[in-house]
Structure 1
Amino acid sequence: MTDLLRKGMKINHLRLAAALLTEAKLTDAAHALGIAQPAASRLASEIETIIDAQFYQREGRGIALTPEGHALAIRADRILNEIGDAGREIDELRRGLTGAVAIGAVTGPAIDLVLPVVRHARIDMPAAQVEIEVATSDHLRDMVLDRRLDFALARLPEDSTATLFDYTPIGVEPVSLIARQNHPLMRAQADTSLESLLNYDWVMPASGAILRQTVERALRDLGHAPPARVLNTSSFLLTLAAVSQTNAIAPIASAVAHIFGADGQIQTLNTTLELAVDEFGILTRAGTHLTPTAERLRDLIMDMGKRNQTN
């Protein structure tokens, strides 16, 4: 095995290699590191001597890492991230369970799990600063990989990128159909068959969104075509506004429907259409060790998720 440390590999070599994962020019990488271009060139030359292989090659007006260079850069990025995490962890251990934690979640789990846990955590971790990002699974996965989130409650990708994550399943996300208060379908003895529901306008995310796919698949399994008249929007606020002001129907996470139904503006429709979005769980970058504060919050969320799924 080649001992890169014995051959002279230093932190500055790792920093340049990691920078070239995102920068296509050596001058840009040098600028990102706060060093002069000649210094970056010297580091690159030293790297080639240490690894005994070409580090990068010219490509157009920029450069591209060779396979050997890319392998080093990937590992270098991971090593530098681990060093950064070690600093955070040491600081938190010194001060107790404090520090900043960034959590991502799809809508239902954000309300059902993350919000209650964070509220409870204020008691035993009053100094912790928690940021919550609510978005779709694909966006949250990117944020986890980019280290903008410590972990996320989201769905594991179905392609080869799944290996980039550590994943702990929690359960499915129930979905409800909602309509405004005093909607014709809310009246006594109103026909709430699927045929009747499909006579109304629907508000749903655009084609391809997992919520829409869930609804269309459930209807198809029961022998029904998708709704003919659909307002497409990814905006939750616009969805609520459209439902509360018209006779439109919309599918939303049951946790959200329960909260916003408490004020009486919207109500959940009692139908035979059973809806649940595919399994979600806790995603972290593969091989990442969370700081004590983030780990504590993750464990609390997992415990609550397990309790909710068994109730």
Structure 2
Amino acid sequence: MNPTESTLAIQLRRLKPVQLRLLAELSQVGALGVAAARIGVAQPAASRLLAEMEELLGLALHERQGRGLRLTEVGLSLARRAARIEIELADAARELAEAATGRAGVVRVGAVTGPALSLVMPVLIALQRELPEFRAEVTVATSLNLCEQLRDGRLDFALARLSPGETQLEARVLAVEPLSLVVRRGHPLLVRPILSLDDLMTYDWVMGDDETLLTQTVVSRLTELGLPQPKRRISTSSFLFTLALLNQTDAIAPLATPVVDSFAGNPSVPFVSLPIDMGLAVAPFSLVTRAGAQMTPPAQRLIEAILAV
């Protein structure tokens, strides 16, 4: 007979923190010995902890699979909750330490390239002028990578895009991201009196692989306009590598317009946008947080400053 909801609520309160940590690790590694080592206990002790959990709850949390084990659906559900508890406890410890020392903590923010340069950077510069003690660690990566770090508790929040079906994270849509086509100063296209779309197709384009959102957006738009796929002899998602390549070749790169605008008008910057509008824009990015997460005061301050912009 399965335990009732009220019985489970009582029994869950009797679980030990080390048991929850073990279950969270098991969901990640799928091997009892590895999970035990990660939480600093011997494998026999980990076996007892797991058995005690199942006896207490009256539910099977794992099943044997060859020489290893895998969590049941019940076990996976509890492991997800356990992982969230671990993250919240770590956040609480960080916030308490900050309150005890009277120092502002480090805000860990992630962003895809466009919002990182056009939004996060200027907001952080303004905050540091106002609050000299304000500190932040900024991670610039793909949305997939940022969301993984956010779920693991390595980031406080991120400016990114959620994958369909995401349940552990929640998002507040902020803005679409228009794209401009960027070339080096002195590029042959810049001296043409009239620039056509066909002219663009005679040059290499620098973008990421076919799986990246930017590349998919560009290819889709070119198809809509009846144009062939651009030549891509070199593919990269690195912003710095893209700029270096533009500087030494006649390649064209689609970049976030806010990023391009941030260095427009500066004659010392060797890049300019082409005077042509293809109607390029990637899907909106969002302010992404863990579902139900409580932000530390410094993180909340940064979020409010970003939303104000």
Paired position in structure 2 for 1:80: 86
Paired position in structure 2 for 1:239: 242
1:32-58: CA deviation from partner (whole Å, max 9, x where unpaired): 111222322222221111111223222
The alpha-carbon distance between structure 1 residues 267 and 124, as it changes in their structure 2 partners (threshold 3 A), is closer
Task: Determine the C-alpha separation between the residues in 1 that align with 2:230 and 2:176.
Answer: 24
- What's the CA shift for 1:289? 1.2
Aligned ranges 1:264-279 → 2 under 5 Å: 264-279=269-284
Task: Determine the C-alpha separation between the residues in 2 that align with 1:6 and 1:257.
Answer: 53
Of stretches 51-60 and 280-289 in structure 1, the one that deviates more from structure 2 is: 51-60
- What's the CA shift for 1:95? 4.2
- What's the CA shift for 1:265? 1.1
SS at match of 1:8: coil
* 1:38 counterpart letter in structure 2: P
Task: State the Cα RMSD in Å.
Answer: 2.0
Of 127, 140, 151, which residue of structure 2 is paired with 1:134?
140
Of 1, 22, 30, which residue of structure 2 is paired with 1:24?
30
The alpha-carbon distance between structure 1 residues 14 and 101, as it changes in their structure 2 partners (threshold 3 A), is same
Of 69, 72, 87, which residue of structure 1 is paired with 2:75?
69
Task: Determine the C-alpha separation between the residues in 1 that align with 2:211 and 2:44.
Answer: 49
Paired position in structure 2 for 1:170: 174
The answer as to whether partners of 1:97 and 1:293 remain within 8 angstroms in 2 is no
Paired position in structure 2 for 1:308: none
- What's the CA shift for 1:72? 2.1
Of 181, 185, 204, which residue of structure 1 is paired with 2:189?
185
Of stretches 38-47 and 112-121 in structure 1, the one that deviates more from structure 2 is: 38-47
The alpha-carbon distance between structure 1 residues 115 and 229, as it changes in their structure 2 partners (threshold 3 A), is closer
Could you list the runs of 5+ residues in structure 2 that have no partner in the other structure?
A: 1-5
Of 208, 215, 226, which residue of structure 1 is paired with 2:229?
226
Paired position in structure 2 for 1:215: 218
* 1:115 counterpart letter in structure 2: M
TM-score by length of 1: 0.89
- What's the CA shift for 1:256? 2.8
Task: Determine the C-alpha separation between the residues in 2 that align with 1:99 and 1:7.
Answer: 31
* 1:251 counterpart letter in structure 2: P
TM-score by length of 2: 0.90
Aligned ranges 1:259-298 → 2 under 5 Å: 259-261=262-264, 262=266, 263-298=268-303
* 2:189 counterpart letter in structure 1: L
1:246-281: CA deviation from partner (whole Å, max 9, x where unpaired): 222111122332344522411111013122211001
The answer as to whether partners of 2:106 and 2:135 remain within 8 angstroms in 1 is yes
The answer as to whether partners of 1:93 and 1:292 remain within 8 angstroms in 2 is no
Task: Determine the C-alpha separation between the residues in 2 that align with 1:42 and 1:232.
Answer: 51
The alpha-carbon distance between structure 1 residues 6 and 265, as it changes in their structure 2 partners (threshold 3 A), is closer
Could you list the runs of 5+ residues in structure 1 that have no partner in the other structure?
A: 305-311
- What's the CA shift for 1:230? 4.4
Task: Determine the C-alpha separation between the residues in 1 that align with 2:28 and 2:278.
Answer: 47
Paired position in structure 2 for 1:203: 206
Paired position in structure 1 for 2:129: 123
- What's the CA shift for 1:229? 5.2
Of 303, 306, 309, which residue of structure 1 is paired with 2:308?
303
Paired position in structure 2 for 1:143: 149
Task: Determine the C-alpha separation between the residues in 2 that align with 1:47 and 1:229.
Answer: 55
The alpha-carbon distance between structure 1 residues 233 and 12, as it changes in their structure 2 partners (threshold 3 A), is closer
- What's the CA shift for 1:241? 2.4
Task: Determine the C-alpha separation between the residues in 2 that align with 1:150 and 1:7.
Answer: 27
The answer as to whether partners of 1:56 and 1:66 remain within 8 angstroms in 2 is yes
The alpha-carbon distance between structure 1 residues 229 and 155, as it changes in their structure 2 partners (threshold 3 A), is closer
Task: Determine the C-alpha separation between the residues in 1 that align with 2:91 and 2:10.
Answer: 23
* 1:118 counterpart letter in structure 2: L
* 2:171 counterpart letter in structure 1: Y
Paired position in structure 1 for 2:3: none
- What's the CA shift for 1:223? 2.2
Task: Determine the C-alpha separation between the residues in 1 that align with 2:11 and 2:129.
Answer: 45
Task: Determine the C-alpha separation between the residues in 1 that align with 2:86 and 2:301.
Answer: 24
- What's the CA shift for 1:238? 2.7
